[in-house]
Each structure stands twice: as structure tokens, then as C-alpha cells.
Amino acid sequence: MSKPLDIHNLQCAQWRQAFQPGDFKRGKAYAAQQRSTLLHLQDFTLTARCKGSAKQSYTQSIQLLPQTDYYDINGRCSCYVGYNCKHVVAALLTLEQAQVNNQPPAALTNTAALSTSTPKLKVIDAPLQQPVPQLTFGSISLERYEKRSARMLTSVQHRAALAFNYQGHLCSDKPKATFLAKIGPYQRLRFMRDLKFEQSCRTLLQKLGWKISLRRSDATPEDAGEVYELPSEQAWLTFMQQPLQDLRDQNWQIIMLPGFQYNLLPVDQWHVTIEEEPSLDWFSLELGIEVAGQSIRLLPILLQLIRHSPQLLDPNYLQQRDNQEIVIVMIHQLGRRVALPYERIRSVLQSLSDLYVRENISNEYKLRLPCQEAARLNKLQAQGIEWHGGEKIQALAKQLTEPLHKLCEAPQGLQAQLRDYQLEGLTWMQNLMQLGMSGILADDMGLGKTLQTLAHILTEKNTQRLQNPALIILPTSLIANWQDEIARFTPNLNVLTLHGADRHTRFNQIAQADAVISTYALLSRDASRLLAQDWHLIVLDEAQTIKNPRSKAAQCASQLRSNQRLCLTGTPIENNLSELWSLFNFLMPGWLGDNKSFSRQYRTPIEKLGDAQRLKHLQGRLQPFILRRNKQQVASELPKKTEITHYIDLSGAQRDRYETLRLAMDKKVRHAIERTGIGASHILLLEALLRLRQICCDLRLLSEEDAQTYTSKASAKMQHLLNMLRIFIAEGRRILIFSQFTSMLSLIAEALKQEHIDFVQLTGQTRDRRTPVEQFQSEQVPVFLISLKAGGVGLNLTAADTVIHFDPWWNPATEAQASDRAYRIGQDKPVFIYKLIARGSVEEKIQHLQQHKAELARSILEGGSSSRINLDSDAIDSLLAPLN
């Protein structure tokens, strides 16, 4: 049992519980060093003085409050701790030791036994109840003299003080089991502190970035509680938004002292007012807020803010701001500040940045934007901003950003069955046309960009909107392809081709045509005539041709007048973003700013700094105006094998050599037939056809002398192949290239090395067949060159999704067998098979012959047969006919 309480025989165990271990340990050391001097003991109050560590003395007034078998200690000290500190411990231990030694100081008296009239201190235990955390915020301005500048500098300190409200009584002392609150003379209310809850509150503040302030500040009163601070202004601004509201929601009591600078006015409502211009090419946007019952125009405030903080026009700075970060603006009408979150003003600030309103602003109350920027309105609308006016612009914003739910029907007269993704492409172009917008159809090669565009033009004709012709600009090599596609899919279109020396004689037919075909090479030459015509639609095929905005073709194309402009390209970006800018400079001049500002805002941050936020911003701006599908995305709609024939016009050197050799061989063959008959002339005919086929591939196949004379640039097929490979590799395709001529494969290999395109090769001379196959199948290289004899059988190349026959194999079964190196069991991707045919040459003629007389064509071109072939004069005339 514990001993009964006796103030004359004080025991440490009777009061030890009132102190923290650290305070007790340090106080015990002070007592041992005899630093404490006892001054007076009256009733149960002890007065003492203690020497501190800095030779400063502190005074203690200690109340010992008797309980059943222990004392509560209410020890006040003049030190900075102030309550139940080490100095109080030292005084109590010194008193205890003096009583043990029976040597109390002469000044020490005890009248507790003599006094009968002094009332005793009454202590009442409060009911247990969780306290309410209280945060008090304050600011104070400080001035100091700076010698360097010889002027007074003003700074502002901001602090928060944490205390705990126990039923109306604040406690902010160091954690102790209890604390006493004065409720009257000689009356105290004792609270059992919820130390676990108090600590959880401190931990929460620390998680929110708060730290105990180590510097004294008068920003908050001394009795307001434990003092905290945040590291920066932005941290204060951030906390005063959602985190502070979260604390309020958790029943924290928040007190903001007068003069606290982050006591911001709340924004009650955001609103946008839109004014449409008659043409709908532009619209004006006014952004406002409701604060303290007043409507405030926000744009002038933001412009003033930008003039003082130009970084707000920096796209990188804007993208790095978190949505919860805020900007502080002064509302002069109210004399108070307001917090604007970046989540709501970022789009406006980006528009200010993109359009350089700071230099070119004409109205400080409204923001004038091109209609293409309507897509940005949905971002503002999604944030609960109230809208006024601009119904057409809002509808435009919705159409630009929402996915297409209802697809157009294929136009009547289209001689093709459109797949779903092609119908989606047609719908996308039609939607842009109705909105008065332009765009880029950037599907992978082979997905039918030409067909979708022809369906679009035919739809415009059927709906009688095609009051002016469509102009189609393309590389010269693609003229025949477009003519063939139009004849095949849209024979009802009246097409005029402006090409050749006599094209001037057809200029007067332009107005009567549905579609006019011209070339990039002729744009500048025919500029005066083309610029004089109003066009319903302008289509640039292989639009990357104008990637250099300074080229004559790009400059002339941008001057043409039309209701809509379309770019068709599988590679809108081949090297850098400047090429994309050039396309949009044609589609929507000025929308992406000038080339210099585009480089500053997008190219440099994205290409050199890898800025993902800037890239995301650019993608967001362009998304409504670019439709891009790769074959993986539409794989389920594609047939297992898609066969595509590319007809290629021979180069000038090839045409000259072809005609020279053809004339010589024609004369030689006919002379042989006259002497020995058609059957006996079989070998000579095969030789003639072989030589002509070599010319179609590459002049360097003819002889050593030709190999020294010509380069790959003289081969139209080689240049076409390299262009295809650049596109396919950019699309991530895996490609097989077949040729009957191993010497042709060697020339292709040399060209691939010069283009820095990795490849493997398999011919009859390859001893190790396994290694190149494994390298290709494991996707170490994108291209596999294969000869007919080496690759005809025994290969399983399921990593491939693209097959290119550089020179045609006239036996369908043999050609199919080569293609099936990629399309076989285990292949899970659609396979595209391309055949490269020299237009008007023996290659095209034998292809037609194969379709009608397959057995005859096969026997002619497989060679080595000793069988006699019955060729009539018509067949020979066709095979050895001039180029057409």
C-alpha cells in the first residue's frame, strides 16, 4: 500500500506521474547539481528558484493538489516551457531531500497545520470527451533595414497555432495525462487528455506539409497553441483550398485573425458568356465569377496578373501546375483577394499563351478565338461553369469532341462495300464538311484512304453540294492509280486530269468536272489557272510532300480557295513536328501560330525536352482534326489477306532503255519467226522478255557497264519500294520482300544499308538458314529479303504482316506459296500483300495475259521448258508492244 499523503514527508512516487520521463531526468540532474533554491512553502504551494543552463534563473510556483494517494502537480515556471518543466522537478526533489535531511531553509515555513480559515483547492474531474482541434491563423508584417540597398524591406510571416478545446477550455501544453482548467476561485476542472487523438491531429498536419515553427513569431498569440508553419506561399495557397475544407469537414475549429493574408474570398459561381460572329469563323468568350454577391469580369484581372507574372504564358509552366494549385488575384472593387484554381483557368491561360493576347489584345473584357478552339470549351463546361449564349458554338464543341455514334451510309453509285472503319472515315469527313472544318486522314497504307475520299466526293455530288469541283493534288506517279480507282469505284464521277504538255487545252473543262486531278510538280506552273477557280474540296494525297512550308507547292496550295481541305498521308510526321505544322498551315492557316512560335511552344519542349504534358496538350488540340487508324486497330474488319497492286511509272532512263531494247528484240524475234516459225523461237522470246523485265526492275541488272553507269535513283521501283519501307517501318510493320533475281536482292540490300534500315537475307547461297529466320521472327530486324528458290518452301515467318513482290511471279500458285510464308498457321494478324508492277510494260501485259491465258503466261515466264508453245501473232504483238 502507498503511504498516506503528508506535505512534511513528500515522496517522489506521490507526484512522479505528472512529468514526462525526459523532464524528470533533467530535473533530477539539476537537483543533484543543487541548482534549485526553495523560497517559500505555504499550504500546498511551493515557491522556488532554479539556475538554468545559460546562467539565467527561473522562478517556479508549484501547487501540490492532494488526491487519494498522490498529488496532481500544477507547476508554473518563468522559463519558455512554462509548465511542469525540469525546473519544477528540481524544486520538488530539493524539497524532498531537505525534509529527509531535516534541514529545511530558514525561509521555509509551513502554515498548513496552523491555518484553518484558508479554503482548500477544489478539483473536479471532467467527464471524458474527445477534444475539438483548433487551428488559429495569423499574419504579421515585419520591417528591417537593409544596408546594401539603404532602404527598409518588408516581409510577412504567416503562422498557424494548434490547440485542443476540451469542453470550452484550450489545452496546448506538452502531452501529459491531465490538465487543470480554472473555473473559479480555488476551483479547478481536471481533464483526462486524449493524447492518442491529439497526436493523430499533429500527424495529420505533418502529412499536409506543416512543420513545428522553430522561429518565434507574433503572427499568433502565445496562448493560441503549438506554432506551425508551411515552407512556401504556394504551400499556403494550396492548403487554404481543399485541405482546409477537409479539416472543417472533420469538425476542426478554424479561426482566422484579422489581417491574415490567406483569408480569401470564396468564388460562389463561375460563368462563361459566348458571342458568336455571323460567319462562325470566330467567337468571343467572356469569363466571369460571382464573389460576395457581385459579378466580376475575370479576363482583365488575368491580363493584369500576366503582366506581373509572365510565366503564366509559358505552356510548360501551366502544364506543370497541379489542378489544386491556385492563383491569387486582387478584386479591387471588394478590396479582398480571391483564389482561382488552375483546374478552371488553365484553358483560358493556354489560349492567352497560344494567341499572344498580351501583344495583340483588342478587347480587355473578351477573348476572341477561332472556331477550331471550340473543342476546348468542353473542358471548361465539364468543370461546372454556367454557360450563357453561344448555342451554335457549344454544339460545334460537342460535335468536335464527342465520338461519332451514327455512321453515314455509303453513297449510291459507289462500286465497293465499305467496311465499318471506312464508313467511320466517310462520316468523319462529312462531319468536318458540315462544320466547315478541314482535317488529316492518316490511316495506314492499305486501309483505303483513296476509297474513303472518293466516297466523300461522291456523297457531296449526290447531295448536290458539289457546286464546284474537287481538286486532287498528288505525286505524278500516282495519277494512274487514282484514275484506276475512280474508274473502278466511282465511275459516275466526271474526272478531268490536268497533266501532260497539252493540259492547257483542257483548262476550260474544269468547271464542268466533278473532280480535277493535278500534281505537286504542276501546282506552281498552273497556279494562275488553279487560283482563279473556286473549289468545293481540295485533297492532298501523300500530303507529306508539302512538309517543307517554303516549297513552291506548299505555298501555292495554301493560296487555293475551297470549302474544305483534306490531307491524306500515312506519315503526317516523318522527321519532326515542323512537318505537321506545315500540313495544318495548309488546312487551317494561322491556327497553330507561325512556325517560330510553334517551335517555341511545342517542338522544343516535345522534341528536345521530352515534355509529355506539352505533347498531351498538342494532341488535345489536334485530335478532332486527325483521324488515324492502324491495321492493328481494325484487324477484326480486315480480310485475312489483302492484295494490293501498285502500278509504277518507269523513270525516263528506264523508258528510253526499254524502248531501245524492245525495238531491237522485236525485230530479232520476228526475223527468227519468219525463218523457223513461232514454236522454234521460244527461247529467243524468253530472252527478250527477261531483258525487258530486268529493265522494269533496275537498269543495273542488264550488264556490268550498266551497273557502273546507273544508281538506285534511276529505278522507279526501287524509289517506290524505299518510300513504302519508310512508311511501313514507321507503322511498325514486319516486311518480307521477294524477288526472282538474287542480283536484285543484292541491290535492294545495298540501298537498305544506305537508308540505315536493318534487314536479313535468304538466297540460294545462304548456308545458315536458321539464323536470319530467328532474327526476323524475334523482331530484331523489320525487313527480310528472300529469293524465289530459297523462300518458296520450308519457311514459317508468322512475325511478318506485310509481303512485297518486287517483281511479279506469274504463276499464281508459286506467288501464293511465297506469300504464305507469312500467312500460315500461327499468324494472328491480317497480312497485306503488295505487287509492284511497271505500268504499261511487259509486266502489266503478262499480268493481263495471265488472267485470260494463265497456262500460256506461266509457261512463257517460268522458263527452262523445252515444250513448244503455241503463240499467236496477237500475243506476240501484245508482249512486245511499246510502253503505254
Please state, as a whole number, how many other Cβ atoms lie within 10 Å of the Cβ of residue 314.
16
Same fold, 12-118 and 646-879: no
Please tell me the least confidently modeled range out of 8-12, 170-174, 387-391.
387-391
CA dist 687 and 306 (Å) reads 79
**Domain segments of the chain as ranges:** 12-118, 132-256, 269-401, 420-635, 646-879
Kind of pairing between the strands at 802-805 and 326-331: unpaired
pLDDT tens by residue, 98-127:
888 776 544 454 444 333 444 677 888 888
DSSP 495-558: EEE--STTGGGGGGGGGG-SEEEEEHHHHTTTHHHHHTSEEEEEEEETGGGG-STTSHHHHHHH
What is the tally of helices (H) and strands (E) in the chain? Answer: 31, 33
Grid coordinates belonging to 579: 512537318
Which residues lie closer than 8 Å to 593 by C-beta, 6 or more apart?
A: 354, 355, 356, 601
Cα–Cα distance list, 352 to 162, 381, 513, 599, 686 (Å): 42, 18, 44, 17, 72
**Average of per-residue pLDDT across 755-784:** 88
7 phi/psi in degrees, rounded to 5: -65, -20
Instruction: Report the pLDDT value the prediction gives residue 511, as an integer from 0 to 100.
Output: 92
User: How does residue 297 score in pLDDT terms, banded at 50, 70 and 90?
Assistant: confident
CA dist 635 and 623 (Å) reads 22
Instruction: Report the pLDDT value the prediction gives residue 709, as an integer from 0 to 100.
Output: 92
Fold classified for 12-118: TATA-Binding Protein (3.30.310)
Instruction: Report the pLDDT value the prediction gives residue 693, as an integer from 0 to 100.
Output: 92
pLDDT at 868 over 50: no
Q: Which residue has the higher pLDDT, 101 or 163?
A: 163
CA dist 591 and 67 (Å) reads 83
420-635: CATH class: alpha beta
**Average of per-residue pLDDT across 366-386:** 68
Instruction: Report the pLDDT value the prediction gives residue 822, as an integer from 0 to 100.
Output: 63
326 phi/psi in degrees, rounded to 5: -130, 160
Grid coordinates belonging to 218: 507574433
Instruction: Report the pLDDT value the prediction gives residue 28, as an integer from 0 to 100.
Output: 93
Instruction: Report the pLDDT value the prediction gives residue 635, as an integer from 0 to 100.
Output: 73
Q: DSSP letter for 829, please.
A: S
CA dist 673 and 684 (Å) reads 10
Global pTM exceeds 0.75: no
Instruction: Report the pLDDT value the prediction gives residue 804, as an integer from 0 to 100.
Output: 93
Kind of pairing between the strands at 367-370 and 336-341: unpaired
User: How does residue 287 score in pLDDT terms, banded at 50, 70 and 90?
Assistant: confident
pLDDT at 295 over 60: yes
Label residue 114 exposed, middle or buried (CB < 10 Å: 0-12, 13-18, 19+): exposed
CA dist 716 and 837 (Å) reads 11
**Cα torsion through 576, 579, 580, 585, rounded to 10:** 150
Please tell me the least confidently modeled range out of 5-9, 87-91, 740-744.
5-9
Question: Cβ(524)–Cβ(531) under 8 Å?
Answer: no
Q: Which residue has the higher pLDDT, 827 or 176?
A: 176
* DSSP reduced 3-state for 207: helix
Instruction: Report the pLDDT value the prediction gives residue 413, as an integer from 0 to 100.
Output: 94
CA dist 287 and 368 (Å) reads 12
pLDDT tens by residue, 809-843:
766 666 666 776 665 545 667 888 899 999 989 88
Grid coordinates belonging to 613: 504534358
Question: Cβ(205)–Cβ(229) under 8 Å?
Answer: no
Highest mean pLDDT among 5-14, 375-384, 679-688: 5-14
pLDDT at 695 over 90: yes
Task: Write the Ramachandran bin of 280: left for phi over 0, alpha for psi from -120 to 50, otherwise beta.
Answer: left
Question: Cβ(785)–Cβ(761) under 8 Å?
Answer: yes
CA dist 190 and 187 (Å) reads 10
User: How does residue 567 score in pLDDT terms, banded at 50, 70 and 90?
Assistant: very high
336 phi/psi in degrees, rounded to 5: -135, 165
**Average of per-residue pLDDT across 656-665:** 92
Instruction: Report the pLDDT value the prediction gives residue 427, as an integer from 0 to 100.
Output: 93
pLDDT at 443 over 70: yes
Share of the chain above pLDDT 70, in %: 87
Q: Which residue has the higher pLDDT, 555 or 763?
A: 555
Instruction: Report the pLDDT value the prediction gives residue 357, as an integer from 0 to 100.
Output: 37
Q: DSSP letter for 605, please.
A: I
pLDDT tens by residue, 188-206:
889 999 999 999 999 999 9
CATH superfamily label, 646-879: P-loop containing nucleotide triphosphate hydrolases (3.40.50.300)
CA dist 109 and 41 (Å) reads 6
Instruction: Report the pLDDT value the prediction gives residue 405, as an integer from 0 to 100.
Output: 63
Grid coordinates belonging to 472: 486532287
Q: Which residue has the higher pLDDT, 756 or 770?
A: 756
Which helix (H) or strand (E) is 344 found in, with range?
helix 342-355
CA dist 419 and 631 (Å) reads 13
Instruction: Report the pLDDT value the prediction gives residue 198, as an integer from 0 to 100.
Output: 94
Please tell me the least confidently modeled range out of 482-491, 512-521, 623-632.
623-632
Instruction: Report the pLDDT value the prediction gives residue 393, as an integer from 0 to 100.
Output: 75
Q: Which residue has the higher pLDDT, 770 or 654?
A: 654
Cα–Cα distance list, 543 to 548, 574, 628, 876 (Å): 11, 11, 14, 41
CA dist 764 and 142 (Å) reads 89
Which helix (H) or strand (E) is 621 found in, with range?
helix 612-622
Please tell me the least confidently modeled range out of 79-83, 134-138, 473-477, 776-780.
79-83
pLDDT tens by residue, 741-757:
999 999 999 999 999 99
Instruction: Report the pLDDT value the prediction gives residue 530, as an integer from 0 to 100.
Output: 94
140 phi/psi in degrees, rounded to 5: -145, 135
CA dist 235 and 268 (Å) reads 23
Share of the chain above pLDDT 90, in %: 36
